[in-house]
Amino acid sequence: MTHLLNLSLRASALLLSLRLASACTSRQDDPGVEYAPEMYDPIPYEPLKQTGFNKVNAFGINERMPPIATIPRGKANYYTHIPKDSVRIAERVLRNPFPYTKANLEEGKVLYTRICSHCHGEAGDGQGPVGLKFKGVPNYSVGTYKTMNDGHIYHVIQWGRNRMMPHGSIVNPEERWKIAMYVRVLQRGEGPDALSKLVAKGPAGTADNSADLTDRAYQGPEGQAQANKASETPGQGGAVAPNGSGVTYIPGNK
């Protein structure tokens, strides 16, 4: 019995040494024998893994390019089909789909403070730390900036304007609209105190007293054109004219 056990141990040691020897190689690019290779190269297809073994897709990768002129699921609101330099079209066509409630205004304030106040200032007067250094940041309560509607502000947040860089990749469509709401509050020239006066009356009072903020003369949708609806003619780069004549805005026209 002892003899058989010794032979078994010697055979196991010999096999282990042979396996270790086979794992060693003089080639620097040869990893040798991998233990449990499924831990490194999983059997299921991973979309971002470029294995080079996929025989079906082009270039041997698992991920495929999406079809041209398609929008990812759940991302329709990200596309308004309004050219980036056509802010005048945006202020006539886009409509804020969210009501001016206490919750929305307060969330807009939080988002504005985190993302915008370093340039535009907490009071919207352009006196943020960055605005003081580089100058030229507008005061929301002065001149034409005081009359910007939600669609105008939304479009500028998405695409940027002049020296302001685009922020469309930083805030999603819902967050852009809520920031626009708070900018409308700052247009009163009272800073954050204007929001406190509105929300003190509660959600119903806030909604009732926001008529001057929503600027109905500009905020009404043109037909069915709203920011929360996908375009029926994607890829044309324009929007149907508000007079219903079927004329299409050419990209770049304002």
**Which residue did the predictor score with more confidence, 198 or 230?**
198
Q: Which range among 104-108, 188-192, 206-210 shows the weakest confidence by mean pLDDT? A: 206-210
The pLDDT, as a whole number, for residue 234 is 38
CB of 180 closer than 8 Å to CB of 218: no
Structure-model confidence comparison of residues 129 and 4, the more confident one: 129
Query: What average pLDDT does range 193-214 have in this prediction?
Result: 60
Distant-in-sequence contacts of 159-164, Cβ < 8 A, 24+ apart: 159/84, 159/85, 160/84, 161/87, 163/134, 163/136, 164/119
pTM: 0.59
Q: Would you list the domain boundaries of the chain? A: 80-219
Domain 80-219 class in CATH: mainly alpha
pLDDT at 249 over 60: no
Burial 107-143 (b: 16+ CB within 10 A, else e): bbbebbeebbbebbbbbbbbebeebeeeeebbbbbee
> Would you say residue 131 has pLDDT above 50?
yes
The angle, 0 to 180 degrees and rounded to 10, between the axes of the packed helices 150-159 and 173-186 is 120
Asked if pLDDT for residue 219 goes beyond 50, the answer is no
236 CB contacts (<8 Å, ≥6 apart)? 81, 248
